[in-house]
Amino acid sequence: MQMTYPVNKNPARKHSAKSNRMNLRQKLSCLLAGTLLPFIAVSANADSVTLAQLWSTKELRTPESVLVHKAGTEKYLLVTEIEGDGAALDGKGGIAKLSMSGEILDQDWVRGLNAPKGMAVHKQKLYVADVNDLVVIDMASQKIEAKINVPDSVFLNDVAVDEKGVVYVSDTRTNKVHRFINNKPEVFLENIASANGLYTNGKNLIIGAGSTLLSVGPDKKQTELATGFESGIDGIEMTKSGEYLVSCWVGLMYYVYADGSIEKLIDSREDKINTADIGYDRDEKVVFVPNFLKDSVTAYQVK
Question: Measured in whole angstroms, how far is the alpha carbon of residue 298 from the centre of its chain?
Answer: 13
Query: In degrees to the nearest 10, what's the CA dihedral of 208, 243, 230, 267?
Result: -120
pLDDT digits (tens, 9 = 90+) for 73-118: 999 999 999 998 999 999 999 999 999 999 999 999 999 999 999 9
Q: How is residue 277 annotated by DSSP?
A: B
Domains and CATH numbers, the chain: 11-302 (2.120.10.30)
**Please, are residues 171 and 178 in contact by the beta-carbon 8 Å criterion?**
yes
Q: How confident is the model over 266-291, as a mean pLDDT? A: 98
Provide the pLDDT confidence category of residue 1 given band limits of 50, 70 and 90: low
Provide the pLDDT confidence category of residue 41 given band limits of 50, 70 and 90: very low
Residue 120 exposure: Cα atoms within 13 Å on the Cβ side: 24
pLDDT digits (tens, 9 = 90+) for 111-168: 999 999 999 999 999 999 999 999 999 999 999 999 999 999 999 999 999 999 999 9
Q: How far apart are CA 100 and CA 277, in angstroms?
A: 17
**Please, are residues 233 and 226 in contact by the beta-carbon 8 Å criterion?**
no
